[in-house]
Amino acid sequence: MAGPTALVSALHEELAAVLGLMPDEQQQVFGGRSFWRGHLHGHDVVAVLSGIGKVAAATTATALIERFGVQRIVFTGVAGGLAPGVRVGDVVVARQFLQHDMDASPIFPRHEVPGYGRSTFDADTALTDELVRASEQVLRELPATLGLDVTKAFGLDAPRCHQGLLLSGDRFVSTTAESTTLRTVLPDALAVEMEGAAVAQVCHDYGVPLGVLRTISDRADDAAHVDFPHFLREVASRYSGAIVEALLRQK
C-alpha cells in the first residue's frame, strides 16, 4: 500500500491508547498539531489528535492528506446515542455522514452542503466492513475485562455494534429537547458527534477512503455530561485502542 494509514482521535485519552500501541513513534509538528509517525502491527501509520469540532477535524484531515500522503483515514471518538437502541457502551460505525447544523435554506435545502448538491457523504465500504469486523470482535471480548465497577457505573450490558448514519455539528448535544428534535428531523440518525461529517467532506474532495468508529458515551440528553472523563478513560479509549489494533491485525 502506498502512503501511511492515518489514525485520528478526537480526544487525548484515545490518542494515548493508540500511541501506546506504537513502538517507534516520531513527533512532527505541523499546522499547530503534533503528528506521530511510526508503525502499528507492521503498518506505516500517522496518529494525530484532531481536536474538537468540524474546522479542527477538517484541517487535520487536509494536513494528513497533503503533508503525509495518507492513503486512508480511520477516525475514532465518542458520540451521543440518538436512535432508541443505541446505548452507552455500544459502538457506532458510520456508513454515511451528515452535518446537522448545515442550513443554507432557503437558498439550498436544509442540510445540503452548498456546491455539492448533497447532504450526506459516504464512508468507504471496504474499510468500514473491516472496522465492523474489528468492532464486533472487540465487543465480544473486551467488555468482560472492564471490571464490574465500570460495567455497573455506566450500565453496560451486552454492547452492540451499529452501522448507519452519523450526525456531526459544532454543538455538544446535551439537552433532551435538542436530541428529541434531531431524532424527529433526522429519524435515521444513529448518533451525534462533532467531527465525522467534516472529515468525510474532505475525504470526498480528495478521494481518500474514510472509516469512522464512535463509542457511545452518552445519550445526548440532559444527563450527557455525567462522568465523561471517567468513561473516556475506562471504556472509550480501551475500545478504540483495541479496535484499531484488531483492524490493523486483519491484514
User: What does the binding site for ligand SAH look like in residue numbers (CB under 6 A)?
Assistant: 10-11, 52, 77-80, 172-174, 192-195, 217-218, 220, 224, 228
Pairwise CA distance, residues 90 & 193, whole Å:
14
| Residue with Cβ nearer ligand SAH (79 or 200) | 79
What beta strand segments (E) does 115-245 contain? Answer: 120-122, 161-168, 189-193, 210-218
| Residue with Cβ nearer ligand SAH (43 or 183) | 183
- The distance of closest approach from Cβ of residue 168 to ligand SAH in the complex, given in angstroms and rounded to an integer, is 7
| Residue with Cβ nearer ligand SAH (224 or 243) | 224
| Residue with Cβ nearer ligand SAH (38 or 169) | 169
Q: How far lies 77's CA from each of 8, 155, 167, 237, 251, in Å?
A: 9, 20, 13, 8, 23
Q: Determine the residue with CB nearest ligand SAH.
A: 80
- Assigned C-alpha cell, 120: 450526506
- The distance of closest approach from Cβ of residue 143 to ligand SAH in the complex, given in angstroms and rounded to an integer, is 19
Write out the catalytic residue numbers. Answer: 14, 218
- The distance of closest approach from Cβ of residue 10 to ligand SAH in the complex, given in angstroms and rounded to an integer, is 4
Pairwise CA distance, residues 39 & 51, whole Å:
22
Q: How far lies 54's CA from each of 27, 106, 201, in Å?
A: 24, 23, 10
Please say whether the beta carbons of 218 and 226 come within 8 A.
yes
Strand partners, 44: 39
- The distance of closest approach from Cβ of residue 222 to ligand SAH in the complex, given in angstroms and rounded to an integer, is 11
